[in-house]
Chain A
Amino acid sequence: AQKVTQAQTEISVVEKEDVTLDCVYETRDTTYYLFWYKQPPSGELVFLIRRNSFDEQNEISGRYSWNFQKSTSSFNFTITASQVVDSAVYFCALSEAYSGAGSYQLTFGKGTKLSVIP
């Protein structure tokens, strides 16, 4: 069974600080996909990134960066120079590539609420 743990329930930072959101996952598969979604106060779910298990290169997109480490089963997300608009709930998710008769579902962590204080 697949599992995603986001140990940080809530984080508050002052604007312009860097912040890292932790994500640890469990899976028995060797092929899987990891995702991050953002849910701003307006409620919609915004896709941020998808990473497959064979690509351990870190990714940077503007102020966002992701650190994927298979050795520790982690897929952490860092926001550099945080802004008030980054305030949201962030979800990490896992999908196994082969689920047999299953759903190929994304299993989500419980989310981390980030508050960026001006």
Chain B
Amino acid sequence: IAGITQAPTSQILAAGRRMTLRCTQDMRHNAMYWYRQDLGLGLRLIHYSNTAGTTGKGEVPDGYSVSRANTDDFPLTLASAVPSQTSVYFCASRGQGHTGELFFGEGSRLTVL
């Protein structure tokens, strides 16, 4: 059972470059999320999607965009990376409609130089 698959696992990126973090789930969950984790700040929501075709902004959306063309895929794009976007990014999906726990991917560690 794969669950949530994120790619790449780790990436070093020059500032100003465009980067897409991929996220795929095989659980047919409607809701999906992107969080970033930074030391001392916990996990903060970047963007979310309640169902295919819809997206919304979370707590820290600036500099990021998402799309949800189908149920399984929820890519996160950094249009022009900046060093403050250095972080660990977690994709998640939510079971049991909107009341269940989040299932997380293994994370993507991004370093912007």
Q: A47-B101, A91-B42 are in contact. List 19 more A-B contacts (CB 8 A).
A: A33-B99, A35-B102, A43-B106, A43-B107, A44-B104, A44-B107, A45-B90, A47-B103, A50-B101, A97-B98, A103-B31, A103-B33, A104-B31, A104-B94, A104-B99, A105-B48, A105-B58, A107-B45, A109-B42
**Nearest A residue to B94, CB-CB:** A104
- Chain A residues in 8 Å Cβ range of B43: 91, 108
- Chain B residues in 8 Å Cβ range of A108: 35, 42-44
The secondary-structure label for the interface of chain B is strand
Interface on B for A, CB 8 Å cutoff? 31, 33, 35, 40-45, 48, 50, 56, 58, 88, 90, 94, 98-104, 106-107
Interface contact A45-B50, CB-CB below 8 Å:
no
Interface on A for B, CB 8 Å cutoff? 9, 33, 35, 43-45, 47, 50, 52, 91, 95, 97, 99, 101-111
Cα(A50)–Cα(B106), bound, Å: 20
The secondary-structure label for the interface of chain A is loop
Can you give 30 contacting A-B residue pairs, CB < 8 Å? Answer: A33-B99, A43-B106, A43-B107, A45-B90, A45-B102, A45-B104, A47-B102, A91-B42, A91-B43, A95-B99, A97-B99, A101-B56, A102-B56, A103-B48, A104-B48, A104-B50, A104-B99, A105-B33, A105-B45, A105-B48, A105-B58, A106-B102, A107-B45, A108-B35, A108-B42, A109-B42, A110-B40, A110-B41, A110-B42, A111-B42
